[in-house]
Amino acid sequence: MACAVAVVIAILAILTTRRLKKVPTSTTQNLVELIVSSLNNFVVGIIGPKGEKYTPFIGTLFIYILCMNLLGLIPTLRSPTSSINITLSLALIVFVTYNVAGIMETGFRRWFRHLLGDPIWLAPLMFPIHLVGEFARPLSLSIRLYGNIFGEETILAVLAGMSILIIPYVVAIPLQFPMMLFAVFTSFIQALVFSTLTTIYISIAVSTHEEGH
């Protein structure tokens, strides 16, 4: 399901951007430009001028997670993000990305110096604390997304099973319908939270020592 979502997003991206014009004349291009500019403003607003080059990564992450979250609302399908394997994989990608970005932007020495903490004579205490904090980030990202989507799908399944049958196997009152409407909102929120935390982690990683604090 995760691969299928990725393929569909890639195909849509190709189809909607192959005939771009400097002055948009189509509704599709206007919509795409609105989405891209909104995501870019969001990222730059947190990271600063350096953030524009991270917009493709964070924007793709947001759209990908949102589509996977919504997939579970289609009958017989399941959200890939209701699996800890998917959410942990995404979190590990984020973990590697912001650490590599930090090393490239500030240099390995300053990046490692941040892990030692201040003052330097407290490094034997602060270094393991910072390491635990670093590894807690992907764990927190993955469990938060997994727990919310898995819980949401479980509730939908329970409510669907409680639906009142009017004509057996033909017509039923869908008790899960109000929850499905709410799930659309929470799917967006969970994708936004994951993307926002990713942006903040990158912002801290690429900033100077003083700005990071």
User: What's the full length of the chain, in residues?
Assistant: 213
Residue 189: partners with Cβ closer than 8 Å, 6 or more residues away: none
Domain boundaries, position 188: 2-212
Determine whether 138 is exposed, middle or buried from the number of CB atoms within 10 Å of its CB (0-12, 13-18, 19+). Answer: buried
Q: How far is CA 15 from CA 18, 121, 135, in A?
A: 6, 57, 39
Q: What is the pLDDT of residue 199?
A: 94
Q: What is the pLDDT of residue 169?
A: 56
Query: Is 150 in a helix, a strand, or coil?
Result: helix
Q: What is the pLDDT of residue 42?
A: 92
Mean pLDDT score of the chain: 84
Residues of the chain with pLDDT under 50: 209-213
Rounded-to-integer distance, Cα 39 and Cα 32, Å: 11
Q: How far is CA 114 from the centre of its chain?
A: 26
Q: Considering the entire predicted model, what is its pTM?
A: 0.84
Q: What is the pLDDT of residue 64?
A: 95
Q: How far is CA 149 from CA 7, 76, 81, 94, 122, in A?
A: 22, 16, 6, 19, 41
Total domains present in the chain: 1
